[in-house]
Amino acid sequence: MDTKQHIISFLKEHLADKPAIIGISGGIDSALVATLAVATVGKERVHGILMPSDTNTSEETARANELVSQLGVETYTIPIDPIVSTFTGAAPFFDMPLAVGNMKARVRMTLLYAKANQIGGLVLGTGNKTELLLGYFTKYGDAGVDVLPIASLYKHEVRALAKEMGVPQSILDAAPTAGLWAGQTDEQELGMTYHDADAILHALEKDAPLEEFDEETIAQVEARMHNSEHKRYLPPICELT
């Protein structure tokens, strides 16, 4: 069974007769997950939610709209700036771009689950293997999902499958960004390219030699993996015997 059919079988098993809810960003990960969901259950059972903010570019929004138009899924557009302003105005804790960015991710998670509650659906996550291993996601934000269909795919594998499945070229060509603050790009924030991250992570996974890689980048990858360990597990429970 090839990768596409394996993921479709996985989604069939976990969705069963439930609708799928997906946050559509204009990026390649959400585009691939939405395309896989449509291939699994049909466009009638896939609900895309666009949640732009003032730090998302018009190009991102255009790409998101191009995708949902191509897929034909039911779509809702909910600008999140009024919600974000309420949070930032209510507490003095949002004085760093990272804090505001994480809050935006958690606002989006809340909206996705509101729709899931309304229609009895499941929220499909868009995290890939590279991001999950590096901890490049927001705890209780974009990590707050029911199912992770592409979490076994490195970023380059996401790109290959997205191309195979006909994701729009504009999305394939775009620089990856979470759009959580102005000018943000994934690779700039990570301090490395996805190409290098994938290669090092794959070598570590296979216990392969690392001599061909830059020592500083290896150290960055290992530090990110170590420091984000808590994100990949449920909170520790104090067990009483």
Walk me through the domains of the chain, giving residue ranges and CATH numbers.
Answer: 3-186 (3.40.50.620), 191-230 (no CATH)
Mean pLDDT, all residues of the chain: 94
130 C-beta neighbours (distance < 10 Å), count? 22
**What are residue 22's DSSP bridge partners?**
48
pLDDT in tens, 96-151: 999 999 999 999 999 999 999 999 999 999 999 999 999 999 999 999 999 999 99
Tokens of 20: 């799928």
For residue 147, the one-letter residue type is V
**In sequence order, what are the residues at sequence separation of 6 or more whose Cβ sits closer than 8 angstroms to the Cβ of residue 178?**
25, 101, 105, 184, 186, 189
pLDDT confidence band for 178 (50 / 70 / 90): confident
- Smallest CA-to-CA distance from 179 within 56, 97, 64 is with 56
- Sheet of strand 20-23: strand arrangement: 74-77, 46-50, 20-23, 122-123
Give the span between the Cα atoms of 31 and 37, in whole angstroms: 10
Residue whose entry in the numeric block shows the structure tokens 């449509």: 38
CB 99 within 8 Å of CB 107: no
pLDDT, residue 185, reads 80
Q: Which residue has the tokens 């509650």?
A: 117
Segment 168-190 shows an average pLDDT of 83
Alpha-carbon distance of 63 to 168, in angstroms, equals 8
Token digits of residue 236? 């520790």
* Angle at CA of residue 56, ends 129 and 33, nearest 5°: 35
Handedness of CA 230, 181, 177, 221 (dihedral sign): negative
Q: In the structure, what pLDDT confidence band is assigned to residue 241 with cuts at 50, 70 and 90?
A: confident
146-174 tens-digit pLDDT? 999 999 999 999 999 999 999 999 999 98
The tokens describing 215, both together, are: 């020592």
Query: pTM of the prediction?
Result: 0.94
Task: From residue 142, give the alpha-carbon distance in Å to each of 77, 117, 145.
Answer: 17, 17, 7
